[in-house]
């Protein structure tokens, strides 16, 4: 009896998956993306302007304070905000707060006067009897002068506005070296303030002018020897093309056009009056009435037998 055929058995092996890894690769990928983003931010900051760097640093130090004042809030992405007549009070408040934070400067805060003028915000450092911001009779800044100008630089270097410096003295003749007068002293003090501003962050292109007036623009005119006449003035100039300037220019242009329109109407009326022939009996007429004698002479010439 033939042997029974054995059934053919086919065994198929299926590859198995490794154990569940829990998604650890996602965490690693997220770390990698974060590291790359941080790298690109650092590279961007390295090539950014000092104003942008200070704005970013101010935001992370105080998101609700410095970040807003440096333009990193909703008003702009790290761009400097110019000072105009609408927000100049904010700059005054910031400067006053910065001065009052320092105990040494808070004592002499009354010697710092800020006024709004046609040129811009004028910040005056007024000298006292014995010299407050500069050594008496010298262009060298005192310790308080250095600290105050450093504080002002911290507020002004974030602005795009130009800064102009002026030096003033009293009418007391300079008693130092011969050939050195109040003109040189006032100019040297303004220039010394300019150097301190630039050493503490204000750009060279931000300084527009450095001027010395000696005793030609006294603060107290009836007291030419008053110590308050000795002062340094920092003028934060208005930005050209601000909305206020454009509005003012538009008003002036409208007034000018209105005056021109009135003048053109008067000229047109005068031309019309001269072009129209004068009516008989018009008091403004300059034409003389026709002479009657000419008509009589012609009638006589028409009579027969008479010769003219």
What digits encode the pLDDT tens for the residues 184-209?
Answer: 999 999 999 999 999 998 988 899 99
Q: Are 170 and 237 in contact (CB under 8 A)?
A: no
Tell me how far apart the alpha carbons of residues 136 and 244 are, in angstroms, rounded to a whole number: 41
Distance in angstroms (rounded) separating the CA atoms of residues 109 and 252 = 39
Question: Looking at per-residue confidence, does 146 or 56 come out higher?
Answer: 146
What gap in Å lies between CA 303 and CA 296, rounded to an integer? 11
Options 3.20.20.30, 3.30.1330.60, 3.30.450.20, 3.40.50.300; CATH for 88-245 is 3.30.1330.60
| pLDDT tens, position by position, 97-142 | 888 888 788 888 889 999 998 889 999 999 988 778 999 889 999 9
Cα–Cα dist 193/199, whole Å: 10
Q: Do residues 234 and 163 lie in contact, with contact meaning Cβ atoms separated by under 8 Å?
A: yes
**Residue 138, CB-side half-sphere exposure with 13 Å CA sphere:** 11
Of the candidates 188, 233, 169, 204, the residue with the CA atom closest to the CA atom of residue 50: 204
User: Phi and psi dihedrals of 164, rounded to 5?
Assistant: -115, 140
């Amino acid at each position: 009896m033939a042997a029974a055929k054995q059934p053919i058995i086919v065994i198929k092996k299926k590859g198995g998956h490794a154990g569940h890894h829990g998604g650890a690769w996602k965490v690693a990928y997220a770390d990698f993306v974060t590291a790359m983003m941080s790298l690109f931010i650092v590279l961007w900051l390295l090539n950014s302007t000092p104003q942008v760097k200070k704005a970013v640093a101010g935001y992370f130090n105080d998101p609700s304070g410095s970040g807003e004042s440096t333009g990193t809030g909703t008003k702009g992405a790290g761009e400097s905000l110019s000072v105009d007549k609408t927000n100049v009070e904010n700059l005054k408040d910031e400067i006053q707060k910065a001065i009052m934070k320092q105990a040494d400067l808070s004592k002499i805060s009354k010697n710092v006067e800020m006024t709004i003028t046609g040129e811009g915000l004028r910040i005056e450092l007024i000298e006292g009897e014995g010299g407050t911001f500069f050594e008496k009779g010298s262009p060298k800044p005192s310790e308080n002068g250095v600290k105050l100008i450093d504080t002002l630089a911290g507020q002004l270097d974030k602005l795009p506005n130009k800064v102009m410096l002026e030096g003033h003295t009293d009418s007391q003749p300079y008693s130092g070296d011969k050939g050195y007068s109040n003109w040189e002293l006032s100019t040297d003090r303004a220039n010394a303030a300019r150097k301190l501003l630039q050493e503490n962050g204000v750009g060279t292109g931000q300084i527009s002018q450095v001027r010395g007036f000696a005793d030609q623009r006294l603060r107290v005119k009836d007291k030419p020897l008053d110590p308050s006449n000795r002062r340094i003035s920092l003028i934060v100039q208005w930005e050209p093309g601000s909305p206020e300037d454009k509005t003012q220019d538009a008003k002036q242009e409208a007034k000018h056009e209105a005056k021109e329109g009135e003048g053109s109407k008067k000229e047109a009326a005068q031309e019309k009056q001269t072009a129209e022939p004068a009516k008989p009996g018009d008091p403004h007429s300059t034409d003389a009435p026709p002479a009657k004698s000419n008509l009589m002479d012609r009638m006589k010439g028409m009579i027969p037998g008479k010769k003219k």
